[in-house]
Structure 1
Amino acid sequence: MELVVTVTNFNYTEDLKNNRSDTYRDFEEHFQKEIRKIYGNIPGYEGVKIISLKPGSIVVEHQVIFTLRGSSNNTETEEITKRLVESLKETEATQGTCQHNSSILCLTVSDNPIVKNLTAGASLQEICWQRAPSKYQEFYYALTIQGIIHCITNCTPNTPITMDCHHGQCHVTQDGPKCFCQDEALYWYTGDNCSGRVSKLATGLGLVATVLLIICIVLAALLVRNHWRKYMLSDPQSYTDGNWYKDKNSSWHSPDGFLYRNMWADSTIADPQPQLGWMETNVWRRPPRQPTIPHHYAMGEETLHNFKPSLELVDTSSPMKISRPKLITQL
C-alpha cells in the first residue's frame, strides 16, 4: 500500500534529491523510526519504504509493507487500509504545535492519503536488491528490526549473519564478503578469516633463542667431554682404580708424551708352584715368574722408561749359593 503525508517541520533541500546522499539517508532513517510509532500497532506491519520526496515542506510518498496473516482478501485489505488512515488522523490531531520540534514528525494528512491500495508487491529481499549497488545485489539481505527494514550484508556488524573476521576487516567485493587481514607485514594468519595470528617478530626471537640454547648445550657437552678426556690422560690409573696394569688390551698417553700399552695385564704367575732347579737339593729355588712388565713407547721406538719393579712376590727366605771367590795373581 502506498500513502502520502507532508512533514511540515523539515525543509526540502537539494540534497534530498539524491537518495544516496547523507542528508537523504538521515531523513529516511528518522522517518522510518517515527512512522513506526504510527503504524507499528497494526498487525503484520513490517516497515516503510520511501518512494519519493517533493517540496512543500517535505511531501513524503511512501510504501507501507505488511505481511498478511492469511491469503489476501478484500476484508483484510479494507481493515488494514482503514486502520492506517485512522492512525495518521489521530497522530495529526494530537500533535498540537510541533513546527519547531525536529525530534518528531509534524504531519499534515490529506482527506484521502492513499495513493495505491494494498496490493501484492515485491518481497523485502527484492526491495533490498533494488536498492543495492550494481553487481552487489546478491550479497544483500533484508532484516526487519523494530519495524524498520534494513538491507544488510555479512559485513554488517551486530547482526545474526555477521562474518567474524577476528583480527581483520570485512568488505563486500564482487566475489562476495571477504576478510582482509591487518598488519600482514608483522603477523602471519594460520586460520581462516584472519584467525590464528602469529607475530613474526616473536617467532624470530624465539627461533634465535632456541638456536642459541642448542649451541650452548653443545658447547657445554664438548667442554665437559674435553675436560674429562684431559683428566683421564693425566691420570691413567683412574681407569682401573690404581691397578693400571690390569686393564687388558688398553692403551693411553702419559703426560710426558709416551704411549702406554698393557697387552698382558691379566698375565698371572705362569708357574705358581716353586720349581726346582737343576739341583734337587732344595738349596736354590727359582723365584716365581714375575708378571709381564707393561711397556711404553716413545716416538714409535720401544724403550724402557721409569720402570719401577714390584718385589712383593720375591721369596727373600730362599738361600743362595755362590762360588768362593778366587784370587788370581798376575805376574
Structure 2
Amino acid sequence: MASGDTSTAPTDTTTASGETSTAPATSTQTTTPKPSISAPAPAAPASLPADGDSARCRLPERLSPGGRGWVRVFSVWGQHCACVLGAGFGDPPHTQGSLPVDCLNGGTYDGKKCICKSEFNGPQCEFAEDVIPTNVSTFQAEVEVQVKVTNKNFSEELNNKSSPVYMEFEEQFKKQMDTVYKRMTGYKGIVILSLRQGSIVVDHTVIIEAPLSNNLDATLESVTKQVVKQLEDINTTTGNCTGTFCLTAPPNPVKNATTNFSAADICKQIVPQDLAQYYYPHITEKGTLCCLTRCSQDLPDFLNCNYGQCQLTSSGPQCTCANKDVFWYPGDRCQTRVSKVGVGMAVPLVVLFIAGIILVTFLGRARRRRPLAWLRGQTAKLC
C-alpha cells in the first residue's frame, strides 16, 4: 500500500438501545490498525520456546535464605515465554548463576545444601557436634606377676632371647600359661619379661581386655584379683606337673598392675583438632566412650542456655538465643528475655503517663495562682 493514503477503518458502535451499527468506511483502502497503547512494544527475542514450554523458561536470581528455594521470572510475549536477563532454556537452576553456599569445616555443597562431616552440623557446617561417639568399650590391662618352674634348671642360654633354648622355653611356657588363664574373661596372652635362676623364675605380664568404666582403678583391682585366683589354683591343682612344667606361685605373685589407656588421648585423636580443648571424655552407662562438650547435659557443669541452644564454635561453647526477632536477651545464657512487642506497646503508654502527670501538675499550679491574682485585682480597686 502506498504511503500517505489515509482511511478510516470500519468501527462497531453500540447505541443507547443496545443495537449495533457499522459506520461506512470513507475509503476503500485499508491499513494495519495502530496499537492501542502509547508505549512502544518490546522487541521479540531472537528465539522462543514452543507453546507450553513456559515451565522450561526460568531464571534463578538467587537462593532463598535457607538455600533451598528458587526465584523464577518469566516474560510473556503473546502465547510464548521469553527468558529474560540471559537465562537459558531448560538448564538446571544451579547452572544459571546460582549462588553456592560456602560450606565450612570440610563440608561439600551438593547443589541444594551443605553435606557436613559427621562431627559438624549447621546450614554451613559451622557448628561442631556436642557429642562425638566412639566404638571404644574396652581397655587393655596389664598385670605383672611371677611364677617358678620347679622341674627345670636355669642355663645361660636362657639369657639370649635369640637362642633355640630360649625360644623353645618361651613357646612351651606360653602354651601352659594359656591353660592357666583361659578361664579369665578378656584374656589375650602373656609376655615374658625376664628369666632368672632359682630353678627358673619367670616374670611375665598377663594381658587382659577389660570392660571400660568410669573407675579404671577399680577395674584394674578386679582384674588383678582374678589373676591371683588363677595362680593360687596352680599351687593346688597343677602343682603335680600335669603339663610340661611344674609351676608354683609365691604368696604375693603380683608385682604391678597398669594400663596405658587414656580416654582423653582418644578423644583428642577423633575430635576436630582445632576444637580438641573443648571436648571431655565420658563413659556412658553402656560402657562406651563418648567425647562431649559443655553443650551436652551429660556433663555435670554443662552450659545451660535456657531459652536458647548451646553451639560449639571456634571460640568455645556459646549460647544462641531463640527468636531474637521477637525477644531481647540481656544475658549471655538466654536466661531472661524481654518481648519486643511488649516494649513497643509499653513505651507509648509510659510517655502518655508522664505527659498526663505533667499536665495535671501544670493545671494544679494554674488553679492555685488564679485566686491570688483575683485578690490582687480587688485590692487594687479598693485603693
Range of TM-score over shorter length: 0.3 to 0.5
- Structure with max Cα Rg: 1
Q: TM-score, normalised by structure 1?
A: 0.39
Q: TM-score, normalised by structure 2?
A: 0.34
